[in-house]
Amino acid sequence: MKIGIIGSGHVGLVTGAGFADLGNEVICMDDNAQKIKMLRRGRIPFYEPQLFELVQKNEREGRLSFSTSVHEVVRFAKIIFICVGTPSRESGEADLSAIEHVARALAKNLEDYRLIVEKSTVPVETGHQLYTTIKESNRKKIAFDVASNPEFLREGSAVQDFFNPDRIVLGVESARAQKLLVELYKPFKAPILVTDMKSAEMIKHASNSFLAAKISFINLVSQMCEEVGADIVKVAEGMGSDRRIGKAFLNAGIGYGGFCFPKDLQAFAWIAEKLNISSNFLKSVREINETQKSKFVSKVKKALWNLKGKTLCVLGLAFKPETDDLRFAPSIDIINQLRTEGAKIVAYDPCAMPSAKKVLKGVQFAKNAYEACRRADAALIMTEWREFRELDIGRLKRLMKHPVVIDGRNIYDPLVMRRNGFRYYSIGR
Ligand code: UGA
């Protein structure tokens, strides 16, 4: 099939390259000419495991190309996915101006039937808005459909997630749109859930909010565990063994970050309020997430007494492993709070250093974890990268000024750390 992707960010690029790999012909479009130039030169603007190889292979084999022209995409593709960003406004409401802009550009270029699919995370009813906007600007009255096909890719495992989804959600309003999308998704093994557009939009927003709530719930329990001396890792294991609860997303830590959960939760709360429905539950999820960060700072203070003049080694900056994404990463807020207390920060992340250098001012960056820990008063674990789990802790101890580790992701065994002479603090145990 001929596919067009509008917006070549994380979602767009993975989706485009993924569909191309399944034998479709795909054009990925973006109005950022710099980005398209980079992609044409074989470079990916962000780090995502396996994506480079996937893009390169499909470009080489002639199924994937890049463009800055909406006109070219509309002429070429029967199915057009909208994958542009939907950032938050100050109020928490999603900013849909990029979607509107795309809708008008698509309408202007329509010459023949096209199926326009929203893949970006959008508030419920955006699809209908999209339909009305296209209809309004569609002077030649060309037939078209709008559908919603939310994506559930996670950064860091997006390529794997694309090929192995748990489910495929198709929000359609016509038999023609349903037929086209079912055909496109035929190679996938996952169950297909066909529904109306509003329900599909709701599924995506509600799923992200639910996952954020699951994390905040376990973080709240971790705070209680700390007070009474229970072990959150065991508690989560015990809870997660109940199939109704499930083990995933029960890792207590310094809170969730990234470009999706914080923004989607806020937008979901905004929708609830707009509908005159209480958003208290969703607000509490966010509040717990904020508290988790300030509690970590208090933990560091308690461990080291005064922070003024102390050198803290921060291991991990990205909002999660296998990504270089720092957007809304808990590490940023925590580092800023620690710097306000007068601490000196030496940081290392296996992947996010180039982006970190742009956003974290006054922080010193080290070449590797050992160098970051040299002469440090304490080491702080902020992202659970595998290479940190595999560190030689004996070497770490010899390099540090004081053997203090404050682990925000519970990656070490407290017994092992203590046996090796560390003063070790973690979350909820
Ligand atoms: C999330 C969803 O998981 C995807 O399904 C969705 O497609 C995506 O948002 C999106 O809307 O685009 P992502 O933000 O890439 O994916 O990352 P997650 O793996 O969900 O992690 C989010 C945050 O939660 C991270 O900061 C992670 O450290 C934190 N987390 C996750 C925990 O603190 N504990 C856990 O048990 C799990």
Say how many Å lie between the CA of residue 85 and the centre of ligand 1: 17
**Integer Cα distance of 398 and 302 in angstroms:** 23
Say how many Å lie between the CA of residue 255 and the centre of ligand 1: 10
Say how many Å lie between the CA of residue 148 and the centre of ligand 1: 21
226 alpha carbon, distance to own chain's centre:
28
Beta-carbon contacts of residue 92 (< 8 Å; ≥ 6 apart) = 266, 267, 269, 270
Ligand 1 near 261 CB (within 6 A): yes
Per-residue pLDDT of the chain (429 residues; tens, 9 = 90+): 999 999 999 999 999 999 999 999 999 999 999 999 999 999 999 999 999 999 999 999 999 999 999 999 999 999 999 999 999 898 889 999 999 999 999 999 999 999 999 999 999 999 999 999 999 999 899 999 999 999 999 999 999 999 999 999 999 999 999 999 999 999 999 999 999 999 999 999 999 999 999 999 999 999 999 999 999 999 999 999 999 999 999 999 999 999 999 999 999 999 999 999 999 999 999 999 999 999 999 999 999 999 999 999 999 999 999 999 999 999 999 999 999 999 999 999 999 999 999 999 899 999 999 999 999 999 999 999 999 999 999 999 999 999 999 999 999 999 999 999 999 999 999
Ligand 1 near 155 CB (within 6 A): yes
Ligand 1 near 319 CB (within 6 A): yes
Say how many Å lie between the CA of residue 396 and the centre of ligand 1: 30
Say how many Å lie between the CA of residue 258 and the centre of ligand 1: 7
Ligand 1 near 253 CB (within 6 A): yes
Catalytically active residues are 260
| Segments of the chain assigned to CATH 3.40.50.720 | 2-195, 211-425
The atom of ligand 1 lying closest to the CA of 207 is 5
Ligand 1 near 257 CB (within 6 A): yes
Its CATH class, for the domain covering 211-425, is alpha beta
Say how many Å lie between the CA of residue 154 and the centre of ligand 1: 6
The atom of ligand 1 lying closest to the CA of 156 is 15
Ligand 1 near 385 CB (within 6 A): no
3-state secondary structure the chain: CEEEEECCCHHHHHHHHHHHHCCCEEEEECCCHHHHHHHHCCCCCCCCCCHHHHHHHHHHCCCEEEECCHHHHHHHCCEEEECCCCCECCCCCECCHHHHHHHHHHHHHCCCCEEEEECCCCCCCHHHHHHHHHHHHCCCCCCEEEEECCCCCCCCCHHHHHHCCCCEEEECCCHHHHHHHHHHCCCCCCCEEEECHHHHHHHHHHHHHHHHHHHHHHHHHHHHHHHHCCCHHHHHHHHHCCCCCCCCCCCCCCCCCCCCHHHHHHHHHHHHHHCCCCCHHHHHHHHHHHHHHHHHHHHHHHHHCCCCCCEEEEECCCCCCCCCCCCCCHHHHHHHHHHHCCCEEEEECCCCHHHHHHHCCCCEECCCHHHHHCCCCEEEECCCCHHHHCCCHHHHHHHCCCCEEEECCCCCCHHHHHHCCCEEECCCC
Amino acid at 32: N
Ligand 1 near 165 CB (within 6 A): no
Q: Angle formed by the axes of helices 126-137 and 97-109, to 10°?
A: 40
User: What is residue 137's predicted lDDT score, i.e. its pLDDT?
Assistant: 92
Ligand 1 near 316 CB (within 6 A): no
Which protein residue has the closest C-alpha to ligand 1 atom 5?
152
The atom of ligand 1 lying closest to the CA of 255 is 33
Ligand 1 near 208 CB (within 6 A): yes
Ligand 1 near 169 CB (within 6 A): no
The atom of ligand 1 lying closest to the CA of 154 is 15
User: What is residue 329's predicted lDDT score, i.e. its pLDDT?
Assistant: 98
Which protein residue has the closest C-alpha to ligand 1 atom 8?
154
User: What is residue 258's predicted lDDT score, i.e. its pLDDT?
Assistant: 96
User: What is residue 365's predicted lDDT score, i.e. its pLDDT?
Assistant: 98
Q: Among 14, 48, 202, 211, which residue has the most ligand 1 atoms within 8 Å of its CB, making it the best to mutate?
A: 211
- CATH classification of 2-195, choosing from 3.40.50.720, 1.10.287.90, 3.40.50.2000, 1.10.10.10? 3.40.50.720
